[in-house]
Structure formats: structure tokens, C-alpha cells
Structure 1
């Protein structure tokens, strides 16, 4: 009787191994198939035109992208605006800072651009109007800036940062 029990146990162990390896093999095949799937390549076009020339003369320090245009801050303190093909929008360039632009932020509609710099200024420039433009001067470098997405409609606020975060509007600066 013990031989029969041993034989049954051996058969069950064989069956267990068969099931285990079959399942493992199936899982590995699925994993291999997933791995073999080719991820879609990103489609891109190298920007040229005016952008290439401007970057040779004045290296970029930061970039912000809007659905309508690109904004590039430079090491000389300029803020350049280009279309998505790299053509400069000629009437839209700001010399807002004396030294490197650290960060840029664009409002939702693409009407206002905020920039900050190591020169201690946070600046909001309007693309179509000077009405809500502002310059806020600090006694230390400003490393980060974010403009209110609804800047032209609502509070006209921006947030700046260095070692503190400050909320700024046309009337006051709050820590």
C-alpha cells in the first residue's frame, strides 16, 4: 500500500511541477510579448529659423511652453518669444532683467508672461497690453515664479520663491 501512496504522491508532485512550469511559462511568454511591443516613437521637428541664431548669440537659461508660442529666458536677462517653428515674434521681446532669467511662467490665455532673475526682480510683461504689467523688486535673487492662470481676469497675483514663498499682487507682497 505504501508503494501505491508513494506513486500517487510522485504523480501529484509531477503534476504540480507541470502546472507550475506551464503557468510560469505562460506568464513569461506574456511578459516577453509585452516587452517586445514597440513603444511609439516621439514625433518631433528640430526648431531652427530665428531660434538657432538667437541661441548662438544669447544662450537659454529657461523655457516655458504655451499652446500658441515658446518663451525662452536667456543668460543676458532677455525674454524671447517664438512660434512653434522657431520664428521670432519680432515685436515681442523683453529686456526685463540685468542678468540670467531663472524661470518663466505664462498665464492660461497666453496674454502675460512672468519672469524672475538673480537681479532680484520678478516681472510681469503683457503681450497685448501694458495695463497689468508689474515689476517687483526684492533684495535677493528670485529663483522661481508662477503667475496666476487667470492673471488678467482676477487677482493679478504671482508667487515667487527663493528661501521663502511669497504671494505678490499689484498692491502688496505677502509671506
Structure 2
């Protein structure tokens, strides 16, 4: 054939064919990447024995776990529960937890038509908001804890609804 260069089958006098190199498709074993991990034990087996988890979110500072019984548990990354931040926020399984950027506040929702806004270490904006319809998901504003930020969160059921805190603590809904 013209224009096609033939590759050498020998380099320095050694044959490069497959039967002489000892490497075939059968001999090649692909190794999966290995990740270093450790199980979170401490308080988690006791928590999961009483109420199975329904949702979870991870922040740089902590892990928040929502359960089938309506509790939200705050754990450090070693699995130790912090009872001062653990409470039953809902009457039915927690469906979603959202944490602000600083990890100062979280919002949780469930099928009980409540949004629980809870401050971790601060109770300034901690409250429960009753909705007309139960929300399936919630997302809290990244700057929720900052003064003058509007203290907004978004809920989703059939429509996306923006909730913005007003002057007297009521929330304005914008669909």
C-alpha cells in the first residue's frame, strides 16, 4: 500500500508481538480506584435504631440528617450528635434539608405543610412557617443569616414559590 507506513515489529532485536510480550486482554486486570473512608459510628447507630433516615445534607461544619419521625439531627463529621440542635421539627418524614452558606441556619420541609427555619448557635430567625400546600423541597438563601438580606427561601410543590421575610416577621410569597 502506498502512503501507509508499516510499524516495526522488532525493537533492539526483540519481538513486539503479543505472544512474546506476555500481555494480553485476558491478563490485564483493571483495578478500581480505592478511596479512603471510615464509617461514621458514634451516635448514628442509636439514632437510626429509633428512626430511619429520610434525607441528609452535608456542610463543611456538620451533617444534618432528617428522619422518618420528623426529627432533624445535627452531627459533627465524626458522627457525634449535638442535642442542643436536635429537635422534632415535623409531624411526618422530613423530605428535604437545606443549609445556608455559612452553616448558621437550615430549612427543612415535610409533607405536614411546614417549613422549619432553625438557627444553629443563634435563634434570631428561628421559626416555623405554615404553608397552604405541603412543599416537596426547600432551598434557603445562601446569605439567610445576614441582616438586610431579605431572609429568603424557595419552596417547590407544583410551582416554585419565593418566600421573603417582611418587616413584621410575615413572609411575602412570590410565585
Task: Confirm or deny a common fold (TM above 0.5).
Answer: yes
How much does 1:37 deviate? 7.4
Give CA deviations for 1:118-157 in whole Å, capped at 9, x if unaligned: 0011111011122112322123221100111110111210
Q: 1:36 to 1:156 in 2, by over 3 A?
A: farther
CA distance in 1 between partners of 2:65 and 2:48 (Å): 9
How much does 1:86 deviate? 0.8
Structure showing greater Rg: 1
CA distance in 2 between partners of 1:140 and 1:42 (Å): 43
CA distance in 2 between partners of 1:52 and 1:43 (Å): 21
Paired residues of 1:134 and 1:170 also in contact (CA < 8 A): no
The alignment status of 1:112 with 2:76, answered yes or no, reads: no
CA distance in 2 between partners of 1:91 and 1:138 (Å): 26
Q: How many residues align?
A: 151
Structure 2 match to 1:143: 136
The alignment status of 1:49 with 2:42, answered yes or no, reads: yes
> What TM-score does the superposition give when structure 2 sets the normalisation length?
0.78
Which stretch has the larger CA shift, 38-47 or 135-144? 38-47
How much does 1:66 deviate? 0.6
CA distance in 1 between partners of 2:106 and 2:115 (Å): 11
What RMSD in Å do the two structures reach over aligned CA positions? 2.4
How much does 1:105 deviate? 0.5
Q: Secondary structure, in 3 states, of the residue corresponding to 2:44? A: helix
Paired residues of 1:80 and 1:93 also in contact (CA < 8 A): yes
Structure 1 match to 2:157: 162
> What TM-score does the superposition give when structure 1 sets the normalisation length?
0.78
Gaps of 5+ in 1: 1-11, 20-24, 26-31
Q: Secondary structure, in 3 states, of the residue corresponding to 2:47? A: helix
Give CA deviations for 1:80-106 in whole Å, capped at 9, x if unaligned: 011111110121112111001000001
Gaps of 5+ in 2: 8-16, 18-24, 167-171
